[in-house]
Structure 1
Amino acid sequence: MLRARGEEVLDYVLDNAEIKTENLITVGMRSIWNAKEADRLKDLIRSTRPDLVKVDNFFPLLSPSVFAAAKAMGVPTALSVRNYRLICPSANLFREGHVCTTCIGSKVAFAAIQHRCYRQSYLQSAAVVASNAYAHLRGTWTHSVDRYIAVSSFVKQQLIEGGFPEERILVKPNFISDSGIGDGSGGYGLYVGRLTEEKGVRSLLEAWPDVPQSVSLKIIGDGPLESIVRQASDADPRIEYLGRKSLSEVCEYLGRAAFLVFPSEWYEPFGRTIVEAYSKGTPVIAAMTPPMKAMIEDGVTGLFYKPGDSKDLASAVSILMTSSERLNLMRIQARAKYLAVYTEDQNYRQLMDIFHQCLTNISPQPIGMESRLQQ
C-alpha cells in the first residue's frame, strides 16, 4: 500500500522458523532483551537513515530491545497492536474455554506462568512474562514507543487498562483491497477462520441442525478442531468443509454467500473476515462480544446472537433468511460500511497521519531506568 503510493519502505524481517533450530532456553532469553538485534537495527539505521521505524511484530526474536535501539538513534517508533500480547502472555485473553482478563494491569503476570498460558509451557510462559516485565522495568513501553497503533477501539481500551499511555494510542483498523461486490447467489452461510475452541466452531456446528433445512454451511480454514468439522460434514450433507483457501478464493466464496458467520467467543481484536464480507456486500451474523459491537450494527449490517448459544445462533439465521427484503437491504448497507471505513485509500491516509504525529511529536529520551541501562 505504501510503496504503491510512492513511499520508500525498507523491510527488516526475521523468520520464526529459526526457533526450531535453537534451544528453547536460548530463545527465551533472546525474547526478553535481544542486544544483538538492537545493534543490528542501529547499524541499519546508520546506513539507511529512515524517518521512522514501524514494528509489526517484535516477539520473540526481535524483542523489545529494538524500540530502545531506535530511540537511541533518534528515530521515532510506532508499534502495531493486533493482539493482546502486551497485556496477556497468551495474546488472546482466553483461558480454559472462557474470557480471561486476570493479567491486565500486572507488570509481572505470575498467573500466566501458573496456568502455562503460552503454549502450555511453564518455561515459555515465563519467557513471555519476563519479556513484558523487563520492558516495563526499563521504561520501554513508556518512553521508547512514540505511537501504539491499535487495531480497534477495544484493543486501545485494554491497553489503557493495562497501564499503557493513553495519549500515545491511536486506532487504525485493518483494510482489504476492493475486489468488487458479490451477489449472494449461493444462498449459503460461510465460516472463514481457524478451527479452534475460542473461534466458536463447536457452537456453530451445534446450531446447524436447528437452522432452516434450505440453508447450507460452508467452512473454510484449518486447525485443531478439523476432525470435528469433518465429522459434522459427514453427518449433515448441508455442511461442506472446504479446507484452507487463498484470499482470492475466500473473497469469491464470500461474494456468493448469503451471510458470513462470525462465532468467535473470545475478545477477537478485529474481525478481518468481517471486512472481507462487507467488501462483497455480505452481511454478518456474529457472537455479540464487545469488540464486534464496534464493527457490526445489529439489524443494519448484520445480526448478533449470544456468544456460545447455538440456539440463538440458529434463530438469527432463521430471522435473516426468512426475509429476502431484509437480506438485500443488509447487503447494500454492508457494502456501504466497507466503502465508508475500510478501504485502502482511507487506511493510507490514517497511517500517514499517525506517521506525521510520530515525526512531529518525538518524545525526548528520559533520564531514567532506560537511559541508565543503556550506558
Structure 2
Amino acid sequence: MNILIIHNYYQVRGGEDAVVENEKKMLEDRGHLVYTFFIHSKEIKEYRFTDKLLLLPRIVYNEKILKKIKKNIAGKKIDIVHIHNIWPLVSPSVFFLFNKLNIPYLQTIHNYRYLTANALLYKDDVRPPGNRLVIKRRKYNCYKSSWILTFMYWLTARLVRFSQVINKGCGGLQVLNHFGYSVHSQIFNPDSLYIRGNFLPISIVNLMGKRPKGDYYLFIGRLSGEKGIETLFKAFKALETESVLKIAGTGPLSEKLRSQYEADISIEFVGFVSGTKKNNMIAAAKALIIPSEWHEVFPITLLEANFCFTPVIASRIGGLPDMIIENKTGLLFESGDELDLKNKLQWCEENPELLKQMGDASRKYAEKHFGEEENYEHLIMIYKKLISRFKGLSK
C-alpha cells in the first residue's frame, strides 16, 4: 500500500510527533511505501515579513501548502493519505484538495481542537447522559494568550465542521477511544469516525522489564491545574503511610508546589525525566497516579506503566476508563475527589500483593491491546474500509 503521511510538527516536540514517527516506521517495517509531507511550526520564526502577514489567513486555508503537496505527490500513486496535526500551517485546505483529487484520507484527532481552540476539554464541559457537550465559554485569548490566534483556530475548526468537507468527501476521522467517539460524534457524522488508540513500538517495549518495587508512588506530567496535581497532594497528605510520592515534571504550578511541599520528606520533586531513567522510575513505582481533571485523550505514560508491570490509579474521566480494567489492571477514582483517591491509595497500602498482581495483569493487558502488531492490523483495517467505502461511493 502506498501511503502519504501529513503532519504539522509543534514548536515544542510533543507526544503527537512521536506517534506520527512510530506509525511511519511501523508501516515501513511491514513493506508499505510511505511518503511524507512534514512541516514544522518553528519555521514561522524564520518567515519573511510578507509571510508573517499572510500567516493568519493561511491558518484557515493555505494555498501555498497545497502547491507544495501537489508537487510532492506528482507522479506518485497514493492509495490513502493519513493526516495528523493541521494547525497552524497545513490548514483544512488539504481536505478540499484530496476530495478534488479523489484520494481517500484519514485524519487522526489527537486532541479536542475541533471542540475548543485551546484543545482542552474540562470536566464541566461534558454532562451525562451520553457525554453531552455543554462546553463553557473560553477566554477570548485561551490559546497562547492570543485573541487573534484563538479566533483563527476557532474559525478553522468551524470551517471543517460546518462545511462538512470530510463527511461530503472521501475522508474519515480517527479518534483514540470511546469517549472521543461520543463527543466527536456530536459534531461529525458518526459514520465518518473510527476508533483506534496509540501503541508502544516493539523496540521500546523490549527495553521494558520487571523490576523490584520501591516504596513510592509516581506522578509524571505537567504540573498544572487540569492535571489534578493539587488534588493528588491533598489526598496523599491525608494518607497514613511511610511511602514517598515522587513528582516528575514541570509546569506553571512548579514554584507554588515546591514552596508548599519541598520541605516535606514524603514528597520528592525529581523534575523532568525521559528515556531509560523514566522507564526505570516507572518500573520501580508501586503505582503510577494520573489524577487528571480534564478529559485525558490517550496518555502514553499509562501504556508505559502497563508495559513496566506497574498498575495505574487514574481518575474516571475522558479516555482513562477505556485504558484500565478496574480492580484488575488498575484503580479508578472520581476526578477531583481527594477522599476517593485517598481511599484508593489506602487500599494499595493495605494490599501490596494484590497491587503487584495488578501490575502483572496490566502487562498482559497491554501486550494484547497496546502492542504494535495489534495496532498495525487495526490501522490497515481502517485504511481498507476507507478505500473500499470511497470506491463504492465513486462508482
Aligned residue identity for 2:69: L
Q: Residue 16 of structure 1 corresponds to which residue in structure 2?
A: 41
1:167 to 187, 191, 198: 191
Contact 1:80–1:148 (Cα < 8 Å) also in 2: yes
Seen in structure 2, the aligned counterparts of structure 1 residues 79 and 257 have a Cα distance that, compared at 3 Å, is same
Aligned residue identity for 1:11: T
1:268 Cα deviation from its structure 2 partner: 0.7
Contact 2:326–2:332 (Cα < 8 Å) also in 1: yes
2:67 to 39, 61, 73: 39
Within 1, Cα distance between the matches of 2:282 and 2:261? 19
Within 2, Cα distance between the matches of 1:335 and 1:110? 38
Seen in structure 2, the aligned counterparts of structure 1 residues 243 and 144 have a Cα distance that, compared at 3 Å, is farther
Q: Residue 302 of structure 2 corresponds to which residue in structure 1?
A: 274
Q: Residue 330 of structure 2 corresponds to which residue in structure 1?
A: 302
Aligned residue identity for 1:169: L
Q: Residue 145 of structure 2 corresponds to which residue in structure 1?
A: 120
**Contiguous gaps of at least 5 residues in structure 2:** 1-25
Q: Residue 29 of structure 1 corresponds to which residue in structure 2?
A: 57
1:21 Cα deviation from its structure 2 partner: 4.7
| CA deviation profile, 1:158-207 (whole Å, cap 9, x unmatched) | 11012x11112111111113233323521311111111111111111222
Within 1, Cα distance between the matches of 2:78 and 2:276? 34
Q: Residue 76 of structure 1 corresponds to which residue in structure 2?
A: 104
Contact 1:71–1:365 (Cα < 8 Å) also in 2: no
Within 2, Cα distance between the matches of 1:169 and 1:247? 34
Kindly report which structure 2 residues correspond to 1:20-169, keeping only aligned pairs within 5 A, or say none.
20-21=45-46, 26-94=54-122, 99-101=124-126, 111-112=137-138, 115-144=140-169, 146-162=171-187, 164-169=188-193
| CA deviation profile, 1:205-239 (whole Å, cap 9, x unmatched) | 22222223311111222221221343345221222
Contact 2:102–2:170 (Cα < 8 Å) also in 1: no
Within 2, Cα distance between the matches of 1:276 and 1:25? 43
Seen in structure 2, the aligned counterparts of structure 1 residues 211 and 284 have a Cα distance that, compared at 3 Å, is same
- Structure 2 length as normaliser, TM-score? 0.84
1:284 Cα deviation from its structure 2 partner: 0.8
Aligned residue identity for 2:273: K
Kindly report which structure 2 residues correspond to 1:278-357, keeping only aligned pairs within 5 A, or say none.
278-357=306-385
Within 2, Cα distance between the matches of 1:365 and 1:40? 28
Moved more, 309-318 or 188-197: 309-318
Contact 2:312–2:329 (Cα < 8 Å) also in 1: yes
Aligned residue identity for 2:243: V
Which of the pair has the greater relative contact order for Cα pairs under 8 Å at 6+ separation? 1
Contact 2:297–2:318 (Cα < 8 Å) also in 1: no
| CA deviation profile, 1:117-144 (whole Å, cap 9, x unmatched) | 3233321111012112223444323224
Higher strand fraction: Structure 1 or Structure 2? 2
Seen in structure 2, the aligned counterparts of structure 1 residues 144 and 252 have a Cα distance that, compared at 3 Å, is farther
- Describe the SS at the equivalent of 2:323: coil
Contact 2:125–2:136 (Cα < 8 Å) also in 1: no
- Structure 1 length as normaliser, TM-score? 0.88
Within 2, Cα distance between the matches of 1:105 and 1:27? 31
Within 2, Cα distance between the matches of 1:362 and 1:6? 24
1:25 Cα deviation from its structure 2 partner: 5.9
Q: Residue 246 of structure 1 corresponds to which residue in structure 2?
A: 274
Contact 2:105–2:170 (Cα < 8 Å) also in 1: yes
Within 2, Cα distance between the matches of 1:123 and 1:110? 20
Contact 1:53–1:77 (Cα < 8 Å) also in 2: yes
Seen in structure 2, the aligned counterparts of structure 1 residues 309 and 110 have a Cα distance that, compared at 3 Å, is closer
Contact 1:174–1:342 (Cα < 8 Å) also in 2: yes
Contact 1:190–1:260 (Cα < 8 Å) also in 2: yes
Count of aligned residue pairs for this structure pair: 358
Within 1, Cα distance between the matches of 2:215 and 2:174? 37
Q: Residue 373 of structure 1 corresponds to which residue in structure 2?
A: none
- Describe the SS at the equivalent of 1:304: strand
Within 2, Cα distance between the matches of 1:55 and 1:36? 17
Give the CA RMSD over aligned residues: 2.5
1:8 Cα deviation from its structure 2 partner: 1.8
Contact 2:114–2:158 (Cα < 8 Å) also in 1: no
Seen in structure 2, the aligned counterparts of structure 1 residues 248 and 165 have a Cα distance that, compared at 3 Å, is farther
| CA deviation profile, 1:288-328 (whole Å, cap 9, x unmatched) | 21422222222111112221222322221111121122112
Q: Residue 233 of structure 2 corresponds to which residue in structure 1?
A: 205
**Contiguous gaps of at least 5 residues in structure 1:** 367-375
Q: Residue 208 of structure 2 corresponds to which residue in structure 1?
A: 180
